[in-house]
Amino acid sequence: MTCLPAQTDKKLGLVIDLDTCVGCQACVTACKEWNTGGHMAPLTDIDPYGGDADGVWFNRVHSYEHMTEMGGRTVNFPRSCLHCETPACVTVCPTGASYKRASDGIVLVDEDKCIGCKLCSWACPYGAREFDTDVGVMKKCTLCVDRIYNDNLAEEDRVPACVAACPTSARHFGDLGDPASAISQLVAERGGVDLMPEMGYKPTNKYLPPRAHTTRAASVPAPALEAVRAEGGFLGWVDRMLSN
Amino acid sequence: MHPAFSVVFFTTATGAGYGLLSLLGVLAGQGFIPPDFWLGLTGMGLALGLISAGLLSSAGHLGRPERAWRSFSQWRSSWLSREGVASVATFIPAGLFGIGWVVLGRTSGWVAVAGLLAAIGAVATVCTTGMIYASLKPIAQWHSRFTLPGYLIFSAMTGCVLLNALLQGFAVGSNTLLAAALLLTVLGWGWKLATWRYNDRLEIPTTANTATGLAGGTVRSMEWPHTEENYLLKEMGFRIARKHSVRLRQITQVLAFALPALLLVAAFALPWPYAAVSSMLAAIAQLAGMLVERWLFFAEAKHTVTLYYGR
């Protein structure tokens, strides 16, 4: 049923640290590798070795330049399903293929019911859903539902593939509905934010903004042969003489 | 948004078909249109033909059309599902009305009731189509108060111009209907101009900053996650029409509104059969113009996912 559960027992989700993400794409390939054989398999690639490659991915890492008055920096930005509390992608589904689980809040697609109308991908402001043209159905992040409850895996491996793969621990997994959980504490401590809060879909996943710039170094590097700040003493005298 | 031809054709054809069906249901059911076998057959055939062709075209747009029957199940939450239920349900009174009015030549009693129910079903279906688009928050140009009335006005307009062409063709046209077709065309024109004006001044609160959670300053896309176009860019990142939007808006105004309005004015003055030819040309021009209008409706709509790509 595409009506949403009034509340979910847990709110499983990811917290992504934009301060430490280095944009290595390890989470992207780990996601693809696991999920092309997982719950939503296959993650079809069309013409993968040709000049017009296309394919289904659940996780994509963008790179942005964020310029503020404090200076600029590169921010690597992983984008995937945020498992929203009120996801429009679920309610617009005409067949009941899209659903949000009452137990843990994970948003899933039942591939056997999907008619491939693509309306859910229009309703998602984040571009989390990708259509598989080969199978004719919509696909999306499952939060590795086939890993996190998998008794065949060692307990430390029962996390989404992207979290397990991250070399800088920029990705965290846990219950965001429990204020005492480590992941909720991290969000509180670092001021985690929602993406597009004005859309009102209440995303479960949170993003930790990059830490503030320090004042230890000069905020604006000086152009060649020019002092950063007015120098006194001998260098100041040299500067004044040469400037005349 | 990518203007898939199947969806552009679907909304244009069913809009005109449901408009014509509701007018036939009300006017013929109340005895304003004389029961005539060939007129009825052509009119109901045109209305149901446009509706069926549109619905089949939209089913062809699906990835798994053989499962389309599943889309009748989620009417509690989904406007697309409601559209499916309403469109199929409307065929029942429409079919009964067709049999009563066309085959039996009756306009009273249960035929009038079936005609009225078909008209209500047709209007309800157009409302559900409009709401599919109006309910999508990520697309600001659609999530506006102009979308739903627009679908209703254009459905009434194209339906009325078609009905006028039909009745003029059978030499039973009236100045009242001609005036209604002309008024609705002018209303449609005004509504489209107002919609474009609103969209051009739209200030969208969602920016690259809120999309990435990076507060303050500017967020510039430096590198995409992929080198080729992916599904998101093919489906949501369409840019051809935005480049040509001024010219395409002019074409829409001429074909869908100005030319039909002129031809309808001419039909007032001309004797039959010239008035009929003029009325039919108005209907053809308007449907062609509405295809361009609907194409622009998609192509000018900007989805928030394009913000992630710096567009």
pLDDT digits (tens, 9 = 90+) for B148-190: 999 999 999 999 999 999 999 999 999 999 999 999 999 999 9
* Min distance B308 CA to chain A CA atoms (Å): 8
Give the closest of B205, B228, B231 to A53, CB-based.
Answer: B228
CB B170, CB B39: distance < 8 Å: yes
Encoded tokens for B75: 């009417």
Encoded tokens for A44: 């079809």
Task: Indicate if the pLDDT at residue A1 is higher than 70.
Answer: no
Residues of B in contact with A116 (CB under 8 A): 62-64
> For chain B, which ranges sit under pLDDT 70?
241
B123-141 burial, b if ≥16 CB within 10 A, otherwise e? bbbbbbbbbbbbbbbbbbb
The average pLDDT across A84-99 equals: 97
A125 touches chain B (CB under 8 A): yes
State which residue of chain B sits closest to A210, comparing Cα positions. B214
Task: Indicate if the pLDDT at residue A222 is higher than 70.
Answer: no
* Cis? peptide before B35, omega within 30° of 0: no
* Min distance A212 CA to chain B CA atoms (Å): 11
**Exposed / middle / buried, residue A111 (Cβ in 10 Å: 0-12, 13-18, 19+):** middle
Give the closest of A64, A67, A126 to B305, CB-based.
Answer: A126
User: Could you give the CA distance from residue A126 to residue B303 in angstroms, rounded to a whole number?
Assistant: 9
Q: What confidence tens digit (pLDDT) does each residue in B260-277 have?
A: 999 999 999 999 899 999
Share of chain A above pLDDT 90, in %: 80
User: Could you give the CA distance from residue B134 to residue B34 in angstroms, rounded to a whole number?
Assistant: 38
pLDDT at A221: 57
A211 touches chain B (CB under 8 A): no
More confident residue, A50 or A56: A56
A130 touches chain B (CB under 8 A): yes
Of B36, B42, B20, the C-alpha closest to B103 is: B36
Q: Which of A45-54, A153-162, B78-87, B285-294 has the lowest mean pLDDT?
A: A45-54
Label residue A76 by pLDDT band (50, 70, 90).
very high
User: Could you give the CA distance from residue B189 to residue B182 in angstroms, rounded to a whole number?
Assistant: 11
ipTM: 0.93
Domain B5-62+70-309: CATH architecture, name and number where available: Up-down Bundle (1.20)
The average pLDDT across A37-48 equals: 92
Q: How many other β-carbons are positioned within 10 Å of the β-carbon of residue A157?
A: 12
Task: Indicate if the pLDDT at residue A228 is higher than 60.
Answer: no
User: Could you give the CA distance from residue A115 to residue B69 in angstroms, rounded to a whole number?
Assistant: 9
Encoded tokens for A59: 């996780």
The ranges assigned to domains in chain B are 5-62+70-309
**Exposed / middle / buried, residue A167 (Cβ in 10 Å: 0-12, 13-18, 19+):** exposed
pLDDT at A241: 80
* Min distance B111 CA to chain A CA atoms (Å): 33
Of B94, B115, B90, B91, the C-alpha closest to B29 is: B115
Q: Are strands A60-68 and A54-55 parallel, antiparallel or unpaired?
A: unpaired
pTM of the predicted protein model: 0.92
pLDDT at A163: 98
pLDDT at B237: 83
pLDDT at A217: 60
Of B16, B306, B304, the C-alpha closest to B160 is: B16
Label residue A219 by pLDDT band (50, 70, 90).
low
pLDDT at B86: 98
pLDDT at A244: 76
User: Could you give the CA distance from residue A121 to residue B293 in angstroms, rounded to a whole number?
Assistant: 23
Domains of chain A: 12-208 (3.30.70.20)
Say yes or no for a CB contact (<8 Å) between A95 and B73.
yes
